Structure 1
Amino acid sequence: MDLLMSVPIASYFFSTSLTSWSTSLNLLFFYMTWTTLILSHSPLKIELFGTLGLRIVFWLIPSLFFLLIDTLLPSLAETIKHNGASALPPRDAKSISRLLGLALLNLALETILEGLLSLGAALYLQAPIFRAATTLPLPWQIGKHIALLFAAREVLTYYIHRYILHAPSRNNRRLPGQHASCAHRRRAAPFSLLLMADHPLPFLLHRFVPLYLPALLMQRHLHLLTYFLFFGLCTIEETLTMSGYTIVPGIIMGGITRRNAFHYARPTGNFGCWGVLDWVHGTSLGGDVMKDVKEEAEKHHLKEKGEDAADGAAGMLQNGIEGLRRSARKRGRKSSAGWGRE
């Protein structure tokens, strides 16, 4: 546990929101701690304990907190749930214990499988699978790699989810049946604990492969800190959008939550993470991602802001032209006055 708590990773990735003085101290403290960690532990150990810690902090603890609200305050919870009271989790201890046990089993399987794959790849490459150097990644590298990882995750999630886990039973009976009997046992909006409460094989295909395979394919081009950031962002997103709450902040995140609720209530669409490929393939339920983008633009008045910016730029250009004309007229008058004196 000391390894999980030894890296103040938030101080590095979110330090831009602080003052410049505190940012410098946070970066210095993070760099010193990260360097010490790299020199004292193996990259594989840091990777496994880091991802396990992210799952615990950003999924397990919030999921148990949401579950506590849903079970102890059902009258309040049903008012902020998609589909109301039908979306509330079971309240009997046996069902909750079963779901929690299955989720923790999948968490352990995910960690073990990642360890085996990373160890095998490291032995084959004769080097750690992720670049666990003391040098910190540059911001533009982080942004580029995160964008690639999210795009690959969207593609893998959609096609695995739609064509393997929701394939017609005549094509493949086993995996769709396992996924339906666990993840879709009830037809209602999900709650966050269901993120990992699926049959182990469908869970690994649906949640682990799209998350880990793109990072594995990037091999040593990907810094371990970038992988941690990607893993943490995905875990936060999945935990919130699987909560079933109508009060999830942000139109984009709220839209993903709404589409998840539709998928679990009627599993005939909304197979992707962000809904981009659902929009492309026409499998969106309850509104598509383009509707969310439009609502987000209207919320922030992007059209009006764009028009104001264009008017401001035109005004500045016009003022500049008028200034140049006035300067030219002044020089012309001075020049004429000089010739007159001669």
Structure 2
Amino acid sequence: MSLTSLLAPLTLPLASLFAIPMLSSWSTSLNLVFFSLTWTTIAMTYSPLQLEFFGPLFLRTILYILPSALFLVLDLGVPSLAVEIKAQGEMGLPGRQRGGLAKVRRVAGWSVFNVLLAVAVQAGVEWLTTDVLRMRSLLLIKGSAWSLNHLPNPWALIKHAFLGLMCRNILQYYIHLHILHSPNGGILARWHQTWHHSIYIPYSFVASYDHPACYLLYRFLPLYLPAIAFRFHIMTYLLLLAIFSLEDVFTYSGYTVLPSTIMLRGMARRTDAHMMSQGKGNFGPLGVLDWANGTTLGADVVDDLREEMDKHDVQERTGKAIDGAGDAAGGLAAKFKSRAKKGKGRK
């Protein structure tokens, strides 16, 4: 049986699950009803093992592998266009870097392998836990046996998403700094340097190009360990996986044209500096811990926020908004006084 035939029964419902809010013109409440019904159907139809394998595989494919391949095609197929939006200009084109196209093929191949490896490891852990040891799934997947509601509580989703974001960034920073770029990091540090840092200027596939052991340690475990430690709902885990997949695509793209200027542009700039310095700083994705620990190279996350505020004249707009609110309040007070005087006059 082909992989396509195995994927079809699950990827089609998953695709509709994520497409309903984006493609329909229905009201928000109706979208939520269809979203709930679709997810409940998926959760009742497929086993936890199937969900933990095909869910991450689907998201990583459509949100990381395919966009990375599309950007690579642009870089290689239309270099005259790509060079205009590359932060490092012609140096940032993958085909112009050391190793040429052979190196690009190696990077893309190992990147895809590492992504699939992480999906397989997660499914393997789930299989060992549920099918061999007969324990409950490590992520919360099925709801109560007496309830058809398999969606997470909204507050729990927000709380766990924030917790996952913080834990992932903290773990990645200290793993990156104290293991992968430490003189005491041993074989892992050497692998990371000879694999990941054999690329001088990044492109999207470079985010997952590393020795498989380093990739699992730095990219997979910082999200998966908090998820199973706090037993996130699988929807929360998939949401975080989707966000981090897009983060990898854009921050390693080398492009100056990015969807978010306040976050992604600064993260992409710090990623470029980390790669071009061969790992002398910028060890965290967001840059907050680099700023707190003095390991930032170039502009830090606070500088990015200040630049964004200046660009949009936040202080001036805030002052105008406050003045406007004050004027409005004064006008309302005057109206109330006028009505009060008229009321007394009638008496």
TM-score range, shorter chain: 0.7 to 0.9
Number of aligned residue pairs:
327
Note the 1:90-101 alignment, pairs <5 A. Answer: 90=95, 92-101=100-109
What runs of 5+ residues in structure 2 fail to find an aligned partner?
A: 1-6, 144-148
| Residue correspondence of structure 1 range 178-189 to structure 2 within 5 A | 178-187=191-200, 189=201
Contact (CA 8 Å) 2:266, 2:301: kept in 1 or not?
yes
Instruction: Please say if 1:207 is aligned against 2:219.
Output: yes
With structure 2 as the length reference, what TM-score do the two structures score? 0.87
Query: Which one has a bigger Cα radius of gyration?
Result: 1
Cα distance between partner residues in 2 of 1:172 and 1:52: 31
Q: Which residue of 136, 148, 161 corresponds with 1:146?
A: 161
Name the aligned partner's letter for residue 80 of structure 1: I
Q: Deviation of residue 320 (structure 1)?
A: 2.9
Q: Secondary structure at the match of 1:90?
A: helix
The residue that corresponds to 2:275 in the other structure is 264
Pair 1:278-2:283 in alignment: no
Q: Which runs of 4+ in 1 moved over 6 A?
A: none
**Distance in 1 of aligned mates of 2:111 and 2:316:** 47
Task: Determine the structure 1 residue equivalent to 2:17.
Answer: 9
Match of 1:224 among 222, 234, 238: 234
Tell me the TM-score normalised to structure 1 length: 0.88
Deviation digits for residues 106-152 of structure 1, max 9, x if unmatched? 12321122123334555779322222233323444332221111111
| TM alignment of 1:219-258, pairs within 5 A | 219=231, 222-251=232-261, 252-258=263-269
* Percent identical: 37
- 1: distance between equivalents of 2:297 and 2:259? 20
Q: How does 1:28-67 map to 2 (within 5 A)?
A: 28-67=33-72
Residue number in structure 1 paired with 2:179: 164
Q: Pick closer, same or farther for the CA change 1:273–1:102 going to 2, 3 Å.
A: same
RMSD: 2.2
Report what 2:146 is aligned to. none
Instruction: Tell me how far 1:258 sits from its aligned partner.
Output: 0.8
Deviations 1:256-283 (A, max 9, x none): 1111011100010110011111111111
Residue of structure 1 equivalent to 2:188: 175
Q: Residue 314 of structure 1: which of 308, 319, 326 is its match?
A: 326
Distance across 2 between alignment mates of 1:108 and 1:331: 77
Distance in 2 (CA, whole Å) between partners of 1:172 and 1:26 is 49
Using the alignment, how far apart are the partners of 1:51 and 1:89 within structure 2?
27
Alpha-carbon distance between aligned partners in 1 of 2:74 and 2:339, rounded to the nearest angstrom: 70
**More divergent stretch after superposition (126-135 vs 80-89):** 126-135
Q: Does the CA contact (< 8 Å) of 1:130 and 1:223 recur in 2? A: yes
